[in-house]
């Protein structure tokens, strides 16, 4: 059975690592804050004290970190995965980072005989806990096939897109649509309220038609009840939009609508709302419209 390492035990990483452990894979874990390591050690994981130490004793090492520089540091930095990993190791990154960085890291690892997969996920902490994530994979097919038994315990939809970096491109594409829906939902709810229609009735009317989406299924009840807590943090949505805009610039792709969404999320950060849910983008539209979105009694 494959011996697995997991580095980065945050909101997503910890439940993913736990599912790998529960499925019976021997698991070595590392995290900056040690309480999370201890938690998984109590459940049977083996602790390590650096990325190199994890990489030196496993067949497959996963990372799950906030942003591109974090992954760069953990892989290429001192006591990093590149330093500790032997030829034949497979590196799998569950973080959402720049496609260009994923390719850069993949190339350097390959030179040392380590196969790299970028495997960002979608589905939130609920999907991570339930093992029902969507996993978008870029990298060599032989590595995908070897890691598949592990992917199957953490995700439901696993798609191999293409070469190294294409998993991150698929995740960026995903986030173009998610951000567009979040902003449109905020706009249409403020529009409905200020123009005199009950937003609860409007959502009820439109959610089964051509506007149907996961966003309209899941987020309005939370906003109606006044709940703007994450879920998926606006700061992370903003980070992902920055990745998209930077990547689009690199390839020469004007994205007029996504660029506006990026600016609106930047406004959330400027107003210290980065820790709210990504659906709380409605706050920016409230400010623009000078219209406070009212808590609604659903079913009235």
Q: What residues between 216 and 275 interact with a second copy by CB under 8 A?
A: 216, 232, 244, 247-248, 251-258, 260-261, 263-264
Could you list the active site residues?
171
The interface with a second copy within residues 116-175 (CB under 8 A) comprises 122-124, 134, 136, 138, 156-157, 159-163, 165-166, 169-170, 172-175
Q: Least distance from C-beta 185 to a second copy, angstroms?
A: 7
Backbone angles phi, psi at 199, to 5 degrees: -60, -30
Interacting span for a second copy (CB under 8 A) from 20-28, 37-45, 52-60, 194-202: 194-202
Q: Which residues lie closer than 8 Å to 199 by C-beta, 6 or more apart?
A: 189, 192, 193, 220, 224, 293, 296
Parallel, antiparallel, or unpaired for β 60-63 and 90-93?
A: parallel
Query: Judged by CB, which is closer to a second copy: 173, or 298?
Result: 173
> Are 202 and 192 spatial neighbours (Cβ–Cβ below 8 Å)?
yes
For the record, the structure tokens of 172 come out as 């960026």
Q: Least distance from C-beta 14 to a second copy, angstroms?
A: 20
Interacting span for a second copy (CB under 8 A) from 41-49, 104-112, 144-152, 288-296: 288-296
Binding residue count for a second copy, defined by CB under 8 A = 77
> Are 175 and 240 spatial neighbours (Cβ–Cβ below 8 Å)?
yes
Q: Least distance from C-beta 244 to a second copy, angstroms?
A: 7
The SS3 of residue 252 is: coil
In DSSP terms, which residues pair with 116 in a beta bridge?
91
Let me know if 134 is exposed, middle or buried by CB neighbors in 10 A (0-12, 13-18, 19+): middle
* Measured distance CA(151)–CA(148) in Å, rounded: 5
- With the C-alpha atoms ordered 239, 82, 7, 141, is the resulting torsion angle positive or negative? positive
The interface with a second copy within residues 82-111 (CB under 8 A) comprises 99
Secondary structure E strands in 23-129: 27-30, 46-47, 60-63, 90-93, 115-118, 121-122
Interacting span for a second copy (CB under 8 A) from 2-10, 15-23, 46-54, 199-207: 199-207
Query: Judged by CB, which is closer to a second copy: 44, or 173?
Result: 173
Query: Judged by CB, which is closer to a second copy: 290, or 297?
Result: 290
Query: Judged by CB, which is closer to a second copy: 81, or 285?
Result: 285
Query: Contact between 178 and a second copy (CB under 8 A)?
Result: yes
Query: Contact between 188 and a second copy (CB under 8 A)?
Result: yes
Query: Judged by CB, which is closer to a second copy: 51, or 138?
Result: 138
């Amino acid at each position: 059975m494959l011996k697995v390492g997991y580095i980065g035990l945050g909101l997503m990483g910890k439940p993913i690592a736990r599912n790998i452990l529960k499925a019976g894979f021997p698991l070595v874990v590392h995290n900056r804050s040690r309480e999370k390591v201890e938690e998984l050690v109590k459940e049977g994981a083996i602790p390590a004290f650096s990325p190199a130490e994890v990489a030196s004793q496993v067949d497959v090492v996963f990372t799950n970190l906030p942003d591109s520089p974090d992954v760069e540091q953990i892989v290429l930095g001192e006591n990093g995965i590149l330093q500790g990993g032997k030829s034949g190791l497979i590196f799998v990154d569950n973080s959402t980072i720049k496609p260009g960085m994923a390719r850069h890291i993949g190339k350097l690892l390959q030179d040392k005989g380590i196969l790299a997969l970028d495997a960002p996920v979608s589905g939130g902490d609920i999907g991570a806990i339930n093992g029902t994530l969507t996993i978008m994979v870029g990298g060599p097919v032989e590595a995908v096939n070897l890691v598949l038994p592990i992917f199957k315990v953490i995700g439901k939809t696993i798609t191999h897109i293409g070469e190294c970096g294409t998993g991150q491109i698929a995740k960026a594409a995903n986030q173009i649509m998610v951000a567009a829906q979040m902003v449109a939902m905020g706009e249409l709810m403020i529009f409905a309220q200020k123009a005199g229609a009950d937003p609860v009735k409007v959502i009820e009317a439109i959610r089964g038609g051509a506007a149907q989406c996961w966003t309209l299924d899941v987020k309005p009840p939370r906003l109606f009840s006044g709940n703007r807590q994450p879920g998926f943090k606006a700061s992370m949505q903003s980070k992902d939009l920055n990745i998209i805009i930077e990547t689009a610039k690199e390839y020469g792709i004007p994205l007029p609508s996504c660029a506006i969404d990026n600016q609106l999320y930047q406004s959330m950060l400027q107003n210290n709302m980065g820790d709210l849910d990504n659906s709380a983008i409605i706050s920016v539209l409230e400010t623009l419209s000078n219209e406070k979105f009212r808590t609604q009694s659903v079913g009235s």
